[in-house]
Structure 1
């Protein structure tokens, strides 16, 4: 018996736009955010050597949802349509935004991403990153 679940987040990077501006433009509460030029820290907030080279934000959309992530993709892309201009602007000004999917399973697993979903990702200027955890 296969047990499979997934998580989906938005991750965005930008070489000059501060994290606060990315957060405001995307309109979601970030799980992690830091701005270009700010001092690096570890997850507990302790200062590290150096400064961040880019701004970065991650926004959790779905956490530990059961089943195949491809079934959740179309409704999620519908919800993100309002952010199309923001994602385009990020890409056109040197940044990038991705839909990050973590797939967790026991046994074997696989998926097919349909052309309609691939087209919609491209139209939204979203890259797709999938990490598989057996």
Structure 2
């Protein structure tokens, strides 16, 4: 049985495109976003000084919850998200070709063990790569 939970966000950054264009094109509202040139601030609104060099658009694909792999395997989750995003393939390719970055940012949490494994088979990796989406895994072993 799988012994991990995970959270996934779709993150997009670009030096010129604005966050509204991302939202409008994907018909999705980000969890967090800012545009190039916006003042840098904390989540609480405190100014940090300076401005953002790139637009940043982030959507939590798990509604703020950790998903238990016993309910949905990570690879099944990514396959489902890839299928939902397939219609935006040309848009993603345009973003990447003009300096943008698109990624699934994954928080990967152990449950009762530090031995966590997922199997990303070549067709899933190819499909994700064809969409121009990188996978960033950030593992959090149990203390």
Match among 116, 122, 125 for residue 115 of structure 1: 122
Which consecutive residues of structure 2, in runs of 5 or more, have no partner in the other structure? none
Q: Where does residue 13 of structure 2 map in the other structure?
A: 13
The structure where strand makes up a greater share of residues is 1
Aligned match of 1:43: 43
CA distance in 2, matches of 1:2, 1:98: 24
Unpaired segments ≥5 residues, structure 1: none
Give the Cα separation in 2 of the matches to 1:74 and 1:18: 27
For 1:38-90, what per-residue CA distance to the aligned partner results, in whole angstroms no more than 9, with x for missing partners? Answer: 11101101222100000001011124211031132212211111221221111
Which of 83, 104, 116 is matched with 2:109 structurally?
104
Alpha-carbon contact 1:14-1:95 (below 8 Å) kept:
yes
Distance 2:135 2:26 in 1: 17
1:131 alignment counterpart: 138
Runs of 4+ in structure 1 deviating by more than 2 angstroms, as ranges, are none
The answer to whether the 8 A contact 2:3-2:116 is kept is no
C-alpha contact 1:2 1:105 (8 A) present in aligned 2: no
Say whether 1:57 aligns with 2:57: yes
Aligned partner of 1:84 in structure 2 is 89
For residues 41 and 129 of structure 1, the distance between their equivalents in structure 2, rounded to whole angstroms, comes to 24
Q: Give, in angstroms, the shift of residue 133 of structure 1.
A: 0.9
Q: 1:5 touches 1:104 (CA, 8 Å); kept in 2?
A: yes
